[in-house]
Amino acid sequence: MNPEQDVLAALRALADADRAKEAAPHVEVKLRRALHGKERERRLKRIAVWAMAAAAVLVAILSTYERRPRQEKAHVDPKAVAPLSVSQPVPVIANPERRIPRVRRTVPREIVTDFFPLVDVAPPVERGELVRVSVPATAMQAVGLPVREDRLSDRVQADVLVSEEGLATAIRFVKYSQ
Amino acid sequence: MVQTSDHDLLNRMLAGDEDAFTLLYRQRQGAVYRFALQMTGSVVIAEDVTQEVFMTLIEHGRRFDPARGALASFLYGIARNCVLRRLEKDRWADAELEDSAGEDDLLEDLTRRETIDQVRRAVLSLPATYREAVVLCDLQDVCYQDAADVLGCPVGTVRSRLNRGRAMLARKLKVRAATAGAGESVA
Extents of the domains making up chain B? 1-89, 91-187
Q: How far is the alpha carbon of A36 from chain B, nearest alpha carbon, in Å?
A: 7
Query: Does A7 contact B38 at a Cβ distance shorter than 8 Å?
Result: no
The dihedral built from the CA positions of residue A41, A42, A45 and A46, taken in this order, carries a sign that is negative
Class of B1-89 in CATH: mainly alpha
The whole-angstrom distance between A6's CA and the closest CA on chain B is 6
Q: Which of residues 25-44 of B touch A (CB under 8 A)?
A: 25-26, 29-30, 32-34, 37-38
Q: Is the pLDDT score of B184 beyond 60?
A: no
- Report the C-alpha gap between B124 and B137 in whole angstroms: 15
| Å between B16 CA and nearest CA of chain A | 6
Contact in structure between B53 and B32 (CB atoms under 8 Å): yes
Model-level pTM greater than 0.80? no
* Interval B139-178: pLDDT, tens: 999 999 999 999 999 999 999 999 999 999 999 887 545 5
Whether residue B53 is predicted with pLDDT greater than 60 in this model: the reply is: yes
Alpha-carbon span B59 to B54, nearest angstrom:
9
Q: How far apart are CA A22 and CA B36, in angstroms?
A: 11
Is the Cβ–Cβ distance between B28 and B57 less than 8 Å? no
Q: Would the CB atoms of B139 and A35 count as touching at under 8 Å? A: no
Half-sphere exposure of B106 (CA within 13 A, CB side): 28
Closest residue to A21, CB basis, from B26, B34, B167: B34
A82-107 pLDDT, tens digit each: 554 444 454 555 555 555 556 555 66
Q: Do A35 and B58 touch (CB under 8 A)?
A: yes
Q: Tell me how long chain B is.
A: 187
Rounded-to-integer distance, Cα A108 and Cα A101, Å: 11
Fold of B91-187: Arc Repressor Mutant, subunit A (1.10.10)
